[in-house]
Amino acid sequence: MAAKKLIIDCDPGVDDAVALFLAFASPDALDVLAVTTVAGNVGADLTARNARLIREIAGREDVPVHAGCRGPMVRAPVEAGHFHGESGLGTLAIVDPAAPLADGHAVDVIVRTVMAAKPGAIDLAITGPCTNVAMAMILEPRIVDRLGDVVIMGGARSEGGNITASAEYNICADPHAAHVVLSSARRVVMLGLDVTHQIRATPERIARIAAIDTAPARAVANLLTFSSGVERDLAWGGGAPLHDPATIAWLLAPDLFKARPCFVRVEMSSELTLGHTAVEFRGAAASSTQWVTDADADAVFDLLTTRLAAS
């Protein structure tokens, strides 16, 4: 089977970095056409640098990185450096990547790449605020009918929020952009906190990755160790949830997950619940939006470990 053509839109960010490592380690299954970056977990300059650094560690300089929007569409920026560290990559050693950004703004690149391909040929993974993708849909509405699956890490239903009491960070960081994407895209898969909180980096799982002893695996072990410490200290949880990598795992092995058709609306006006995702299953049997409810956590970590070991 031919590799899926994919654009990854992200805001690295510790868990975005792990998602990139998993995608870069899977060239047989995922043909990553571009990585596009957006302001989010940290500022736009840092997310663009971090994506290039991850690409360099993974030895995948063949994949272009394009910088995108520097802030949300409407609301004031809200960053998450307290969860990702000052650099955005925890305690990972930071160097200036050798390869530069590719020419072209991320929004233009998304439009140009999708319009040049056959309808349905390109999937899109969004692991940060939806700003770039929403702006691309506004700039060129025809891409909506030409995209394949849009796989989003975002939202929460039963789990509540992780940036406010009711909102997950990626949606809360740009709720207006999330509204544009969710009300426009034809086929959406949403992996929110309900499922990502099931996939946690236990010490045993991290040790298996660290034992691979390659540069990407060592980096992933470092990132997950840092994130687990933050989760323990700030969120009172167990190991770090595998938020953003869940999107790549879904693309590689959707049979490891369970999902239900749904309708999703995003709160855009309430000061108290800004970014809340209202997920409705009733009457949604024919909806093309899927809300992922469950994951086989052991199998997802097996997938991550196996891919890193083979890269």
What are residue 286's phi and psi, to 5 degrees?
-95, 5
How many whole angstroms separate alpha carbon 189 and alpha carbon 125?
A: 9
Using alpha carbons, select from 181, 150, 136 the residue that is nearest to residue 277. 181
How many whole angstroms separate alpha carbon 55 and alpha carbon 172?
A: 27
Contact 101, 67 (CB under 8 A): yes
Return the structure tokens found at 10: 């992200």
What are residue 7's phi and psi, to 5 degrees?
-110, 135
DSSP characters over 80-141: -HHHH-TTSSTT------SSPPPSS-HHHHHHHHHHHSPTT-EEEEE-S-SHHHHHHHHH-G
Give catalytic residues, as residue numbers. Answer: 243
Residues counted in the chain: 311
